[in-house]
Structure 1
Amino acid sequence: MKKIAIAGAGAMGGRIGTQIQEAGYDVTLLDYWQAHVEKIKREGIEIQTETDTYHLDIKAQFPEEVNEQFDLIIILTKAMKSREMIKVLNERGAIGEDTAILTMMNGLGHDETFAEVVPKSQIFLAVTMWTAGMRGPGQLLLEGDGTIDLQRADGLDDERTRAINQIFNDAKLNSRISDDVFQSVWSKATLNSVLNPLCTILDKRIGEFAKYEQAREMITPIINEIIAVAEARGVKLDFDALVAKVEGSYPDELQGLHYPSMHQDLHSGRYTEIDYLNGKITQYGKELGISTPTNELLTHMIHQLEMQYVTQES
């Protein structure tokens, strides 16, 4: 795989893209954020780590400017923008019969969205525990370590799976090929479906939410509904492991001092990814005849807040 596109070049897309380019691959960043793309075109991208600040020259384009086919396209837009992105790239000829489409976005159902455009044999799912931040247009903040788990969406292995894994490991992204990436996807979606809406509705940092003595009683019905839906879709989840995953994020030295991304989006005037988290659980539950009242209520509450706070489309 020689030509790689990062579709959605914000904080995480910037991290993945710049590390892959630094490993010697041909990378193009694709994004709709005008100031960000134009600054990278002019000056390259500024990267600040725990120990250094430096510039990296890397290609950047608006999706409508694409005029070449890629071997690998990594989708890292906001979930609600992914359908639009993949359709534009398909129209621009960026996707060929052998192009691998990989997502490590938060939420559920992305393989179903992409299957509207490409066969499932071209779709790859990944879960990342890396973090990243933006200091402004063309300015990345990259701290800490992380991992990536990946697998082809249909569960089969092929040369592209191993090639993608090699690219990520060349880029020092600590990647491994999973034999059950859907379990990892649902596990991370559970974490986000618990902390994102609760901290957003309550206007609390993760650690502030955790100080409530009955916090576990609040998260239990959300998790139980997710487990019921996941198992009906063939994904086995463990309640105790999921509770440990959520509560493991409470300490200040981990995520306790942070507002979840949904809170950040809402208070920046943007729509949230609720429909790909609790909203998707509710949708699946209705399709399967499984009641999900807690997840449905959280979805409605976030949409109510969007009516109050959202001032921009993305």
Structure 2
Amino acid sequence: MKYTMIGAGAMGYRYGVLLQELAGVEVDYIDTWQPNIDAVRSQGGVYVSRDHANRHLVPINIYTPEEYEGDPDVWMVFMKQMQLEDMLKRCAPLFKDHQVVFSAMNGWGHFEKLSQYFSQDRIYGGTALVATVLNGPGDVDFMGKAGAGSMEMCAMTEEITEVEKALAADFQTAGFNPTITQNFHGTCLAKIIFNSVANTLCTMYQIRMGQFISFPGAMKMVTQLVNEAYDACERAGYQMTRSRQEEIDAIEYSSRVSNPLHYPSMYQDLTAGRPTEVDYINGYIAQLGRDNDYVCRTHEFVVQGVHLAELAFQIHREEAKEQKIPTVA
């Protein structure tokens, strides 16, 4: 199958490059960040590293939505939630009835947006437990050993299709270790809950995942956030794909073993001066609770905590600029 990545950022590059290099499939990229497009074109591709080593150039084809004339079998969407609506509007003339779309974005809001352009039987969602850092335009770093990550995928209709099997086969060859499920909400909510802990707390306190999990009180914080999220999901009638303890164990393992040196994507947004996706992650869980007569007090607090961290970082940056003190981003 042919793939086109909507969003040439950290995750778009990771999936696209590995599908291209390991699965041997044709991959194109669509992006709207002009410095990224310019860097890729001037370099002749994207520079790829793994754990800050073995930096090499991978040739890729990158386009703006208006330039693209390709006809992929699969659109893969990896965007920030706040940017997706505009990107889909620009890509809309390219969408055709025979195409399907897959996304493993953080949060939940993207599925409502994708449903405006694709019927439910052509939408596939999932989770991606892999860590990736976009160092800058045309420069990406895959964190963790090759083949160490994992993912789950599910059709929105929850029916296993031949297309989904073909997708899973390509993902397996590319080293993503996919598992097909038949529980759409439960599958996607597991990643939202995962990110509501590791992404959010590491961002609030500006530390790596390994530093967070080494804190003596870390597991109490993990357990509190997971339990509260599961309470909200259960009140909404959603059946989860793994138990509370399995979710807690996954967060601990990823933080302590798989990606201890990783700064989560939310932290990367914070330090780059971009809005974070906390409203689509912890905010979604909090809203799910409110919609079902349950107050997720910790998640409500954490949402405001991250927004305060955004403000504090901006203030410190402006103060440092006024004093001509260099800041680390």
TM-score (norm 2): 0.84
Aligned-pair identity in percent equals: 29
Residue equivalent to 2:48: 47
Which sections of structure 2, spanning at least 5 residues, go unmatched? 316-329
Distance 1:55 1:259, change over 3 A: closer
Q: Does 1:20 align with 2:10?
A: no
Rounded Cα–Cα distance in structure 2 between residues aligned with 1:302 and 1:64: 35
Whole-angstrom CA distance in 2 between matches of 1:209 and 1:131: 16
Q: 1:211 to 1:138 in 2, by over 3 A?
A: closer
> Does the 8 Å contact 1:111/1:120 carry over to 2?
no
Kindly indicate whether residue 249 of structure 2 is the aligned counterpart of residue 244 of structure 1: yes
Output the amino acid matched with 2:132.
A
Distance 1:179 1:84, change over 3 A: same
**Contact 2:109–2:280 (CA under 8 A) maintained in structure 1:** yes
Aligned match of 1:254: 258
What is the DSSP-based 3-state SS (H/G/I as helix, E as strand, rest coil) of the residue aligned with 2:96? strand
Query: Which residue number corresponds to residue 268 of structure 1?
Result: 272
CA displacement 1:180-214 (0-9 Å, x = unmatched) = 35433222222210122222223333333334433
Deviation of 1:158 (Å): 2.0
Is 1:157 matched with 2:152? no
Do residues 202 (structure 1) and 205 (structure 2) align? yes
**Cα distance in structure 2, aligned partners of 1:283 and 1:304:** 19
The offset of 1:13, in angstroms, is: 0.9
Q: 1:36, CA displacement in angstroms?
A: 1.6
Change (3 A) 1:7 1:294: same
| Contact kept in structure 2, 1:120 and 1:153, CA below 8 Å | yes
Q: 2 CA distance for matches of 1:256 and 1:169?
A: 24
- Higher mean C-alpha deviation, range 168-177 or range 103-112: 168-177
The whole-number CA distance in structure 1 between the counterparts of 2:65 and 2:268 is: 25
SS of match in other structure, 1:272: coil
Which residue does the alignment assign to 1:114?
Answer: 114
Q: What are the superposed Cα offsets for residues 52-97 of structure 1, whole Å, 9 maximum, x if unpaired?
A: 443332210122322343321100111222222222211xx22111
**2: distance between equivalents of 1:208 and 1:167?**
34
Q: 1:178 to 1:39 in 2, by over 3 A?
A: same
RMSD of equivalent CA atoms: 2.4
Among candidates 232, 235, 239, match of residue 235 of structure 1? 239
| Residues in 1 aligned to 2:71 and 2:36: alpha-carbon distance in whole angstroms | 23
Question: Aligned equivalents of 1:234 and 1:30: distance in 2?
Answer: 34
CA distance in 2, matches of 1:170, 1:282: 37
CA contact (8 A) 2:232 2:289 kept: yes
TM-score, normalised by the number of residues in structure 1: 0.87
User: Residue 195 and residue 46 in structure 1: after superposition, are their counterparts in 2 closer, same or farther (change >3 A)?
Assistant: closer
Does structure 2 conserve the Cα–Cα contact (< 8 Å) formed by 1:87 and 1:117? no
Alignment of 1:279-298 (within 5 A): 279-298=283-302
Matched, 1:299 2:300: no
Residue 5 (structure 2) aligns with = 6
| Cα distance in structure 2, aligned partners of 1:160 and 1:63 | 25
Q: Taking structure 1 as reference, are residues 57 and 211 closer, same or farther at Cα in structure 2, changes over 3 Å only?
A: closer
User: Partner residue of 1:36?
Assistant: 36
- Deviations along 1:114-173, one digit per CA (max 9) or x if unpaired, are 113321111101212233333432223335222332121120122221222233234343
Q: Are 1:215 and 2:218 counterparts? A: yes
Query: Which one-letter code corresponds to 1:248 in the other structure?
Result: Y
The answer to whether the 8 A contact 2:186-2:238 is kept is: no
Q: Any stretches of 5+ residues in structure 1 without a counterpart?
A: none
The one-letter code matched in structure 2 to 1:163 is A
Sort the Cα spacing of 1:204 and 1:71 in 2 relative to 1 into closer, same or farther, 3 A: same
Between 193-202 and 294-303, report the one with greater CA deviation. Answer: 193-202
Q: Is the 8 A contact 2:7 2:78 kept in 1?
A: yes
Give the counterpart letter for 2:233 in structure 1: A
Q: CA deviation at 1:310?
A: 5.4
Per-residue CA deviations over 1:194-238 (Å, capped at 9, x if unaligned) read 122222223333333334433333333322221012222422352
Deviates more, 1:98-107 or 1:201-210: 201-210
Quote the Cα distance in structure 1 between the aligned partners of 2:164 and 2:63.
26
2:281 to 274, 277, 296: 277
CA contact (8 A) 1:70 1:95 kept: no
